Chains A and B, each alone.
Chain A
Amino acid sequence: MGLLSDPNRRRALTNLLTRLNAPICVVCYLAGVMWFMGLAFEPFTLRTYMSENAMGSTMVEEHFPAGERALATGREFAAHKKKVGGMPVNWLVKTMESRGLEVFTQSFTRKLPFPDENKERYLVRGTNVYGILRAPRASRTEALVLTAPCSQGNANNQAVGLLLGLAQYFRSQVYWAKDIIFLVNEHDLIGMQAWLEGYHHTNTTGGDWSPLHGRGGSIQASLSLELSSDVITSLDLVLEGLNGQLPNLDLANLFHAFCQKIGVLCTIQGKLQRNDWESTSGYSHSAQTMMLMVLKQASGRPWGDHGLFLRYHIEAATIRGINSFRQYKTDTTTIGRLLEGMYRKLNNLLERLHQSYFFYLMPSLTRFVSIGYYMPAFGLLAVILLLRALDLWVQLGASAPGTEDGLAEREQDPRFLPLLNKLVISHMTGVALYCLPVMSQEMAVQHFPVSETEAVVLTAIAIYTAGLALPHNTHRLLQGEGTEHGWRVLKLVALLYLAVLLGCTALINFSLGFILALSLVPIAAFITPPLSAAIMVLLSPGCTLLYCVLIFQELQETPVSLQDGWMLFLSVISQGILDHSLYGSLVYPLLALLIYPCWLLLWNILFWK
């Protein structure tokens, strides 16, 4: 007889499973965490290398000469920006035309669901200006994009100046095989979203923008430049995009190759690379870099203007110039040469970047772990859920002894009904958490002395905590529960639901899935009715978010007190809701509509009586 169909052997197996279940789960959890932390250990990572043949080993001598002129243009831009009090559209159009580009503008309006207190905007109206450099001899089938944001105040003036300087230099060359689009976008991400939607003729987020009159073909790659000082000490590369999507690793390899060639200090996550991987401090440095990347990816928001390009399968990255207190400074001409070299390499591309990895984590700029190496960490956590589900299945099967399948089903049928009730109620709470904060802000403002943003955030937290009281309240409404084993069925369903949810999340955004798994898997695995409610609340998704915020601040070397951390937490919630409605970020709907109801199901188990 087979292993599973022989009743004796099956009983032996299930006994083994039941006996060893808890120890195996604990071991798996620890192994998952150790595996994840081990990813930052240098011998377990791979050195980055250029995978694309077309962007091969040969380099060109860069000749960009006009760094000082670019800075002068940047100062002119700043003056005009201050005079107009926003984006100096006419001046930009005139300047770009004088450099020989085909210039077009796009105006857009956007009404945010509630005022954004971080950036102080509610009704946004702006204009994007972009100039297209047509390839002298090629047909207009492909394009590259260079963007610099038009920010308020004194930020990013040098970036726009350098962009215009590069435009003038590029215009006099004959070797461009793709059109180059120089874009200055207003209101950073909102303007970028409007431009991209206009370019690709999609409208997914309900913005209002004028159609684009000039196009350049399908965009192969894009770089966003953020430069706020005349000289810099290092260049920072930002990769994380919307919903945790990352550009092809070849783009990061390209950046690093040019940093090495030109001799500019390059960082990722703002952290320099260290050579002493054997020492504890060296290892913790890599681990911190990797954790920063994981947290940024998990937040699902675009961390630079490039983040919105990734959705259209355009490889994009943001290069940020940082001016700190080092002695060795790099001037604008050198940055211009670096960008010139990168664009000449991208010019040689024959197809979109696809040879290197799309899913990776980087403990430092020259080391990476690919999805094949980091996914087992999540797999070990997911296995815990499956083991517990199996264990429950065995227990449920054993608690109905001697009944055939048909009888057992009929017996279990009424047991599923209160289950269905709880499922529906949990999901309705989730829907309320998703819809009500934004919808009821006016009512909240009328009744309470708070601003709209605070109203939205506090409503969300209120609904979240109200969900905690649900089991008590719904008890009186529903009858027919309280069977001794009813909670096991609920737990089984919740475990499988959580496993599917976390699995799907980890496939799309590994960091988000892993962080949620870290906090949710232990409670899901070990919850039984007489468990402490405090632990449940401490490991709930909301509190996980709070811990992440605190850890993020700690890793950024700007630790905050609990008070400031709480305020930051509130602003993170509001940003999450805004990201969802403005750019289509999926983190807030995922947490509100799926993770929170799942957690509520588990919360219901606590109060099963």
Chain B
Amino acid sequence: KRNQCYFKRSLNVVCTSRFWFNYRHVANTLSVYRSVKRLGIPDSHIVLMLADDMACNHRNPKPATVFSHKNMELNVYGDDVEVDYRGYEVTVENFLRVLTGRLPPSTPRSKRLLSDDRSNILIYLTGHGGNGFLKFQDSEEISNVELADAFEQMWTKRRYNELLFIIDTCQGASMYERFYSPNIMALASSQVGEDSLSHQPDLAIGVHLMDRYTFYLLEFLEDIHPSSTTNMKDLFKVCPKSQCVSTPGHRTDLFLRDPGSVLITDFFGSVRKVEITTDTINLTAPMVHLEDTRPVRELRTEIQTYMDQLPVAEIIHQKPKQKDWHPPDGFILGLWTLILLVFFKTYGIKHLKHIF
């Protein structure tokens, strides 16, 4: 049984909005950043992208702070924030390059997502979005197809073991619709056609401080400590419709394990397993190379399976796609009724027996 503790954690936390009135997106991102740091993930494993500097914005009445609770209860900017991509560096191109690892050799390590096939990655995106896209910096967009392809590239290059994708924007569920790589679990703050709403306006600062989904996510995460055993099913329950007004959604069909067995700390926390031994270890003897006892066949077999990219069998045999059954359109119904009526009117009811 594979122990999740042996998997590294990496994070990519992105805020895509600039301007003072989008203060809440920066506060969202910094809240998630702060939570994972509290749970033990170091800055070297986090890529934090903030599109605008709210703490030092000229309009901030409390410079060098970003608050997430009204009445200035919680300063999420703190003293040890390490922003990796700031201001105009937060672009779609940079984001995709960070994910896929296609960065120029001169990029410093702090700006790279140093992940391999034993990493569990958490990606958190927030900003303004729509049906199938997320707006970056008021000048460009990333589409859900691009994001899905980026994740597929990551899978092909073995850049992740498992990936948790959280998005807090309007119509966020549209962003994970197109994912097709295995081992991805996705959460969104609202369904297609719904707007994600902001939570608390602060009357001293004059802006909304947080979005609802992230606010309740933060509340949920505050209860998590490094050894808690809360699983993903509890995360799905965060912010029901009564609190969020929008309907949060999630997607687990690409994930191989059962979400109920996935701990929150598999993604959000860094856990060190400590084994206490009472045996003494003799250090004076020289080191002896251990034999490679791993059976060869383990390397040969593929543990993971890929999703069928081109379902040829289905295409050739013209199997109908598994679509939800929709009741026939009113128009179609009406049209057929009209045709039938006309037919029977013209030819009389006695022809009925020829049809059935």
Stretch from A16-24, A56-64, A285-293 contacting the other chain? A56-64
User: Which residue of A is nearest B18, CB measured?
Assistant: A350
A177–B206 touching, CB < 8 Å: no
Q: Residue of B at shortest CB range from A55? A: B21
What residues on A are CB-neighbors of B58 within 8 Å?
135-138, 175-177
Report the Cα distance A370→B203, complex, angstroms: 33
A173 at the interface (CB under 8 A from B): yes
A58-B19 contact in complex given A137-B58, A174-B61, A175-B60, C-beta closer than 8 Å:
no
Per-position 1/0 for A344-373, Cβ under 8 A of B = 100110100000000000000000000000
State which of A59, A137, A174 has its C-beta within 8 Å of the C-beta of B206.
A59
Given contacts A53-B21, A348-B21, A348-B206, whether A58 and B201 have CB atoms under 8 Å apart is: yes
A247-B257 Cα distance, complex, nearest whole Å: 62
* Contact code string B191-209 (vs A, CB < 8 Å = 1, else 0): 0000000000101111110
How far apart are the CA atoms of A424 and B205 in the complex, in Å?
66
A176–B207 CA distance with the chains assembled, in angstroms: 15
Q: Would B59 and A60 count as touching, CB distance under 8 A?
A: no
Asked if B21 contacts A137 (CB within 8 A), the reply is no
User: In the complex, A551 Cα to B57 Cα: how many Å?
Assistant: 52
Say yes or no: A348 contacts B20, CB within 8 Å: yes
User: Smallest CB-CB separation from A175: which chain B residue?
Assistant: B61
The answer to the question of B63 belonging to the interface, with a C-beta cut-off of 8 Å to chain A, is: yes
- Answer whether residue A432 sits at the interface, using C-beta atoms and an 8 A cutoff: no
What's the nearest-Cβ distance from chain B to residue A349, in Å? 10
Query: How far does the alpha carbon of A138 sit from the alpha carbon of B204 in the complex, in Å?
Result: 20
Which of B56, B59, B60, B207 is in CB contact (< 8 Å) with A58?
B207
Query: Once bound together, how far apart are the Cα atoms of A136 and B205, in whole Å?
Result: 17
Q: Which residues of the partner chain B approach A344 to less than 8 Å between Cβ atoms?
A: 206
Contact of A61 among B19, B63, B203 (CB under 8 A): B203
Q: Which residues of A contact B57 (CB under 8 A)?
A: 177
CB of A546 within 8 A of chain B?
A: no
Closest Cβ of chain A to B323, distance in Å, is: 39
Q: CB-defined interface of A170-181 with B at 8 Å, one 1/0 digit per residue?
A: 000111110000
Complex Cα distance A347/B58, Å?
10
Q: How far is the CA of A379 from the CA of B71 in the complex (A)?
A: 56
| B208 contacts across to A, CB distance below 8 A | 58
A61 touches B59 (CB 8 A): no
A137 CA to B60 CA in the complex, in Å? 10
Interface string of B48-75 (1 = CB under 8 A from A): 0000000011111101000000000000
A392 within 8 Å of B (CB atoms): no
List residues of chain A with CB within 8 A of the CB of B59. Answer: 175, 177, 347-348
Q: How many residues of B contact A (CB 8 A)?
A: 17
CB distance from B236 to the nearest CB of A (A): 31
CB distance from B196 to the nearest CB of A (A): 16
Indicate if A54 sits at the interface (CB-CB under 8 A): yes
B63, B201, B206: most-surrounded residue (chain A CB, <10 A): B206
Shortest beta-carbon distance, B322 to chain A, in Å?
Answer: 43
- B19 pairs with A54, CB closer than 8 A: yes
Tell whether, in the assembled complex, residue A137 and residue B204 are in contact, meaning their CB atoms are under 8 Å apart: no
Given the complex of chains A and B, what is the CA–CA distance between A76 and B20 in angstroms?
A: 40
Chain A residue at smallest Cβ distance from B203: A61
User: A55-95 vs B: 1/0 string, CB under 8 Å?
Assistant: 01011110000000000000000000000000000000000
Residues of chain A from 409 to 443 with CB closer than 8 A to chain B in the complex:
none
Asked if A58 meets B206 with Cβ closer than 8 Å, knowing A173-B61, A175-B61, the reply is yes
Question: Min CB distance, A262 to chain B, in Å?
Answer: 14
Give complex CA distance A60, B208 in Å: 11
Contacts of B205 in A (CB 8 A): 60
Q: Mark A518-543, 1 if CB is under 8 A from B, else 0.
A: 00000000000000000000000000
Main secondary structure of the interface of B (DSSP, over half): loop
Q: Which of B56, B58, B61, B205 gathers most chain A CB within 10 Å?
A: B58
CB neighbours (8 Å) of A176 from chain B are 58
Give CA–CA (A226, B207) in the complex, Å: 31
CA gap between A395 and B272 in the complex, in Å: 101
> In the complex, what distance in Å separates the CA atom of A344 from the CA atom of B61?
11
Given B21, B61, B203, which contacts A56 in the complex, CB threshold below 8 Å?
B21
CA gap between A173 and B205 in the complex, in Å: 12
Q: Which residues of B lie under 8 Å from residue A137 when comparing CB positions?
A: 56, 58, 63
| Interchain CB contact under 8 A, A60 and B20 | no
Alpha-carbon distance between A174 and B63 when the two chains are bound, in angstroms? 8
Please give, as numbers and ranges, the residues of chain B lying within 8 Å of A350 by CB-CB distance: 19-20
Closest to A341 in B: B206
Nearest B residue to A57, CB-CB: B201
What's the minimum C-beta distance from A335 to chain B, rounded to whole angstroms?
A: 20
A173 CA to B21 CA in the complex, in Å? 19
With contacts A175-B58, A177-B58 taken as known, whether A60 is within 8 angstroms of B203 at the C-beta atoms is: yes
**Beta-carbon nearest neighbor of A138 in chain B:** B58
Considering the chains assembled together, what is the distance between the CA atoms of A56 and B19 in angstroms?
12
B-side contacts of A175, CB under 8 Å: 58-61
Complex CA gap A101/B59 in Å reads 19
With a cutoff of 8 Å between Cβ atoms, the chain B residues found around residue A347 in the complex are: 59
**B204 near A60 (CB under 8 angstroms)?**
yes
In the complex, what distance in Å separates the CA atom of A135 from the CA atom of B61? 12
The residue of chain B having its C-beta at the shortest distance from the C-beta of A139 within the complex is B58
Chain B residues lying within 8 Å of A136, measured Cβ to Cβ, are: 58
Encoded as 1 (CB less than 8 Å from any A CB) or 0, chain B from 8 to 44 comes to: 0000000000011100000000000000000000000
Q: How far is the CB of B59 from chain A (nearest CB, A)?
A: 5
Which of A58, A59, A173, A350 has the largest number of chain B CB atoms within 10 A?
Answer: A58
Least distance between B13 CB and chain A CB atoms (Å): 25
Q: How far is the CA of A53 from the CA of B21 in the complex (A)?
A: 8
Query: In the complex, what residues of A have CB within 8 A of residue B206's CB?
Result: 58-60, 344, 348
User: How far does the alpha carbon of A256 sit from the alpha carbon of B208 in the complex, in Å?
Assistant: 22
CA–CA, A173 and B206, complex, Å: 14
Complex interface: chain A residues within 8 A of B20 (CB): 54, 348, 350
Give CA–CA (A495, B60) in the complex, Å. Answer: 61
Report Cα–Cα, A173/B59, bound state, in Å. 10
From A54, A61, A135, A348, contact of B204 by CB (8 A): A61
Instruction: Report how far A107 CA is from B306 CA in the complex, Å.
Output: 82
Q: Which residue of A lies closest to B208 (CB)?
A: A58
Which residue on A lies nearest to B198, using beta carbons?
A58
Shortest Cβ distance from residue A505 to the other chain B in the assembled complex, whole angstroms: 40
Q: For A60, give the chain B residue with the smallest CB separation.
A: B206
| Chain B min CB distance to A192 (Å) | 28
A17→B21 CA distance, assembly (Å) = 59
Which of chain B's residues has its CB closest to A53's CB?
B21
A54–B21 alpha-carbon span in the complex (Å): 6
Identity of the chain A residue whose Cβ is nearest the Cβ of B57 in the assembled complex? A177
Q: Which of A193-225 contact B (CB under 8 A)?
A: none
Q: With a CB–CB cut-off of 8 A, which chain A residues contact B203?
A: 59-61
A173 contacts across to B, CB distance below 8 A: 61
Chain A's closest residue to B209 (CB) is A58
**Which residues of A in the span 31-56 have a Cβ within 8 Å of any Cβ on B?**
53-54, 56
Give chain B nearest CB distance to A53 CB in angstroms: 6
A interface residue numbers (CB < 8 A to B): 53-54, 56, 58-61, 135-138, 173-177, 344, 347-348, 350
* 13 CB-based A-B contacts, threshold 8 Å: A54-B19, A58-B201, A59-B206, A60-B206, A61-B203, A61-B204, A135-B58, A138-B58, A175-B58, A175-B59, A344-B206, A348-B20, A350-B20
Leading 6 A-B pairs by shortest Cβ distance: A177-B58, A61-B203, A60-B206, A175-B61, A138-B58, A58-B201
Extra contacts, 9 of them, besides A56-B21, A58-B206, A348-B206 (Cβ < 8 A), are A54-B19, A54-B20, A54-B21, A60-B205, A137-B56, A137-B58, A138-B58, A176-B58, A348-B21
